[in-house]
A and B are shown apart, each in its own frame.
Chain A
Amino acid sequence: MEERTRAYLRGRFGDYYRRAEITPPPDANEREWGYIPWTSGPGTTMVRHKSLLDLGDIEGFLERERPRHVYFSAGRYDDPSAGSMSEKHWRTSDLVFDLDADHLPSVTLGEDSYAEMLAKCKDALLRLLDFLEDDFGFEEMTIAFSGGRGYHVHVRDPGIQELEREARREVVDYVRGMGMEFDAVIDEEAVGGEVGRKSPAHNEYLPTDGGWGRRIHERLLAEFEQIKSLDEDAAVERLQEYDGVGEKKARAAWNIAQDRFVEIERGNLSAHPVVKNFAERIAASVVEEDDAPIDEPVTTDTNRLIRLPGTLHGGSGLAVRRIDRDAVDDFDPLVDAVPDTFVGHEIAVEVTDGGLIELLGDSFTLSEGEHTVPEHVGVFLMARGRAEKGPE
């Protein structure tokens, strides 16, 4: 990036910050702050180990410094500006989740457009929220578009604040379905007999009301509803398409769907071997379909620095946007995260790496060379290193 481009962006970031209202996170003065300035040279150095005291008030600081990237810590400390983690004395940390298109198995890098990657990322975000809301019952959550290729969720419920790394790993593994073992998920219940008596017979149940068990059960139920709705021959034919399902198994499954559907509703895997067989089959694929492939190190690291909502991402010129829960469905990062400050002007740029750009509902295909483009497009290209500032 050339000096004039850097100077331009820094200046316009300053204009943005003059108007922006930034809501700092709770307990801002107990957190570590960091930023990356618009320096030249390839090595980007983060200025970190700052406390709010060092920076002064956030809005004033941003207006003066106009940084390229701005971060704050998930952790709270006795002494946030101390130079090493052990001297800071950790107190608590928010639980932070990071979904990044780069890490999504569904994304094909180099093939998917930016818009497509972001759309896939939002699907993953919705799955993540399903875990966080329904399973974990979290209530204090901030959802943000990262300004780059994904989304962040900051959880601030009191019950998780003191968890250490190992416990956070369990949370990660939960939403990613890592280590989910069918045998460990199912429950055993003694059949008849009094509790405490020797009762050799056990029934196996799939939990229907929570966890991955519930997710497997929902699919099992759907499968058997399908089977139930078919006539016997059609069902038998369809079922035999599965590996390892012969006619006998298929008929057994159909019979259960007709006569003992309530057992399926209860999650009773002992109703017939074929039921357990189907449940195991579903368990093998459910993780792939339902998991939220978050970036593990972000969540387990209690000292992580994370982008401040409301600031600009220096690698895209888009805003790190806080998103209300009800607005998530309709949120379109390529419209809603374009800063107003950059809308309504035109600028000249020299495109060095052309191609497709989709912003504010328009798409542009630019070739290399000089162009006059809407400023938000120019800022995006320059921030991404795909253009330099053109002559005035």
Chain B
Amino acid sequence: MKALHARYPFLSAAREAVETAGVDLSELVASDSAAVERGLERVEWAVTEGTVGEPHRRTRVELLSYPVARVLVSLVDEHILLRRYARAEAVTAYDRFSEELTATAEFQSTRTERLDRQDLLAEFDLSGHVHAVAGEDGEYRVDVGTYLEHTAGQWGDEWRLVNRPLADGQVPVDEDELLLLVRQAVRRRVEDGLPLSVPDAIATELDDETERVRDVLADLDLTRDIDTVVPDLFPPCMRHLLDKVQKGEHLEHHSRFAIAAFLTSIGMSTDEIVELFQVNPGFGEEATRYQVDHIRGETSPTEYSAPACATMQSYGDCVNKDDICEDVINESHPLNYYEHRLEEADEEELVDWRDGEEDEEDDDAG
């Protein structure tokens, strides 16, 4: 087993190596306590630190701890754990490959096999979509579909397509940005297939470890209140209405009522609502404040009765309903939709709109 595989256990070559070595997972969890221990550590660190920790000194243990960690994550099967774990694996890999790729020749270790940029891109089917700019070191152009696949909704304003000099279907990125894109690809790779279905024998063997992970999770305060304002997670109907408001389009009364009542229900004040609406220049602030106040006055002070889906539908305000509307909330109430999305989301990645336009870029982005 190669050190390279232990460093990057999600590579297809690493997976093959595990397969060729004929490792049997149930035997592994029963007999290799070092791999199990390190697997547990990967997951615990993922939850508490956001990385998977320092590698075990033995290559074999380090490599085999990866499938163990995946099994553990699957056994606990909490959405938030899954996301955090995948993110931590990606962050750790990113730290390692960015260091390797940027090290100057003299510091490069010759002992171990290294990952070069081409291999890394090829591993994630990126080679055909990332084009080095001739004559400009560290400058690339990424095909727009690939760019969006890995960046949409991830980071701050600078990453949004609308702020990029897109031309001929390609988005220019620099070296650092390219590596962040790869990090995102790693994360998807790790997430892929999770949760695994785990045979009972293995599950029983890992009872203690599973319990431990649950404890660690429980110690974190992961509960989210509905009064967090993340417009990206609004139900489609409300996103649509908000969008119209922000574009300065005229809304009929029932629509204005729906959006204002919804925003009130998630804990926004009149001032905040007015501010959220005010994206469009030429928007009449006073008129809106008056309207919003008025709408709030129409509802009882304790309970701002945002309309249910049935009401939204009869007014034609149910626009663009999606799978969550149909299959999860059964077209009950837009607030249920929002609550569901908040629960699904990884707390760390949610930025309350009221916390301003601060840099959303991950602190670990280096």
A212, B163: Cβ atoms under 8 Å? Answer: yes
Residue of B nearest to A211 (CB): B165
Note all chain A residues with C-beta closer than 8 A to B152.
Answer: 163-164, 166-167, 169-170
CA gap between A184 and B156 in the complex, in Å:
9
What is the CB-to-nearest-CB distance from B104 to chain A, in angstroms, rounded to a whole number? 11
Is A181 touching B157 in the complex (CB atoms < 8 A)? yes
| Residues of B contacting A165 in the complex (Cβ-Cβ under 8 angstroms) | 322
Answer yes or no: B345 CB below 8 A from chain A CBs: no
Q: How far is the CA of A183 from the CA of B158 in the complex (A)?
A: 9
- How many angstroms from the CA of A155 to the CA of B146 in the assembled complex? 16
CB closest residue in chain A, given B143: A159
Contact B320 A300 (CB under 8 A): yes
- Option from B129, B162, B323 in Cβ contact (under 8 Å) with A212: B162
A170 touches B148 (CB 8 A): yes
Q: Per-position contact with A for B131-169: 1 when CB-CB < 8 Å, else 0?
A: 000000000000111101100110011101111111111
A297 touches B319 (CB 8 A): yes
Q: Give 1 or 0 for each of A150-174: 1 = CB within 8 Å of chain B CB.
A: 0000000101101111110111011
**Residues of B close to A357: CB separation below 8 A:** none
Contact partner, A134, options B156, B160, B168, B243, Cβ 8 Å? B168
B: which residues have CB within 8 A of A? Answer: 129, 143-146, 148-149, 152-153, 156-158, 160-170, 172, 236, 240, 243, 246-249, 281, 319-320, 322-323, 326-327
| Contact indicator B149/A180 (Cβ below 8 Å) | no
Chain A residues 104-146 with CB under 8 Å of chain B are 105, 134-138
Indicate if the CB atoms of A301 and B320 lie closer than 8 Å.
Answer: yes
Q: Which residues of A290-315 have CB atoms within 8 Å of chain B's CB atoms?
A: 293, 296-297, 300-301, 303
A159 contact from B144, B167, B248, Cβ within 8 A: B144
Question: Which residues of chain B are near A184, meaning CB under 8 Å?
Answer: 156-158, 160, 163
Measured between beta carbons, the chain B residues less than 8 angstroms from A47 are: none
Q: Which of A103, A136, A169 contacts B144 (CB 8 A)?
A: A136
Question: Given A86-B323, A296-B240, A300-B320, A185 and B163 touching (CB < 8 A)?
Answer: yes
Whether the pair B323, A173 counts as a contact (CB closer than 8 A) is: no
Given A84-B327, A214-B167, A301-B320, verify A178-B149 contact (CB < 8 Å).
no
Chain B residues with Cβ below 8 Å from A178 are: 162, 246
28 A-B pairs with C-beta separation under 8 A: A86-B323, A105-B249, A134-B167, A135-B169, A136-B166, A136-B169, A137-B170, A138-B169, A159-B129, A159-B143, A159-B169, A160-B144, A163-B145, A166-B153, A167-B148, A167-B149, A169-B152, A170-B152, A170-B162, A178-B246, A179-B157, A179-B163, A211-B162, A211-B166, A296-B243, A297-B319, A297-B320, A303-B322
Partner of A170, one of B160, B236, B320, B327: B160
With a CB–CB cut-off of 8 A, which chain A residues contact B243?
Answer: 296
Complex: chain A residue closest to B157, CB-CB = A184
User: In whole angstroms, what is the CA distance A213 to B161 when docked?
Assistant: 12
Nearest Cβ in chain A — how far from B286, in angstroms?
A: 21
Write the chain A residue with the least CB distance to B323: A85
Complex CA–CA separation, A84 to B172 (angstroms): 40
Q: Is the CB of A137 within 8 A of B169?
A: yes
Q: Once bound together, how far apart are the Cα atoms of A211 and B167, in whole Å?
A: 6
A135 to B153 alpha-carbon distance, docked (Å): 20
Compute how far the CA of A138 lies from the CA of B144 in the bound complex, rounded to whole angstroms: 10
Map CB proximity to B onto A193-229 as digits: 1 under 8 Å, 0 otherwise: 0000000000000010111111000000000000000
A284 lies within 8 A of chain B by Cβ: yes
B162 with A179: CB separation less than 8 A? yes
Nearest CB in chain A: distance from B322 CB, A: 7
Nearest CB of chain B from residue A282's CB, rounded to whole Å: 14
B325 CB to nearest chain A CB (Å): 10
A213 to B319, CA, bound (A): 33
The chain B residue with its CB closest to the CB of A297 is B320
Q: CB-CB < 8 A to B236: which residues of A?
A: 297
By a CB distance below 8 angstroms, the chain B residues around A209 are: 165, 167
Q: Which of A84, A160, A173, A284 contacts B145 (CB 8 A)?
A: A160
> Which of A103, A170, A297 touches B161 (beta carbons < 8 Å)?
A170
A85 to B320 Cα, complex, angstroms:
13
Judge whether A177 and B162 touch: CB under 8 Å. Answer: yes
A165 and B325 CA atoms in complex are apart in Å by 15
A120 to chain B, nearest CB (A): 16
Chain A residues closer than 8 Å to B249, beta-carbon distance: 103, 105
* Contact between A163 and B149, CB atoms less than 8 A apart: yes
Question: A171 to B157, Cβ gap below 8 A?
Answer: no
Q: Once the chains bind, are B165 and A210 in contact (CB under 8 Å)?
A: yes
A contact residues around B240 at 8 Å (CB) = 296-297
Q: Evaluate whether A105 and B247 lie within 8 angstroms (CB atoms) in the complex, with A166-B152, A211-B163, A284-B281 already known.
A: yes
Whether the pair A174, B165 counts as a contact (CB closer than 8 A) is no
CB pair B145 A159 closer than 8 Å: yes
Docked Cα-Cα span, A209 to B166, in Å, equals 8
| Centre residue among B148, B163, B243, B327 by max chain A CB count within 10 A | B163
Minimum CB–CB distance for A165 against chain B, Å: 8
A135 to B167, CA, bound (A): 4
Q: Which of B158, B162, B172, B281 has the most CB of A within 10 A?
A: B162
Q: Which residue of A lies closest to B237 (CB)?
A: A297
Q: Which 10 A-B pairs have the closest CB atoms?
A: A137-B169, A210-B167, A159-B145, A210-B165, A297-B320, A207-B165, A167-B148, A184-B163, A211-B165, A167-B152
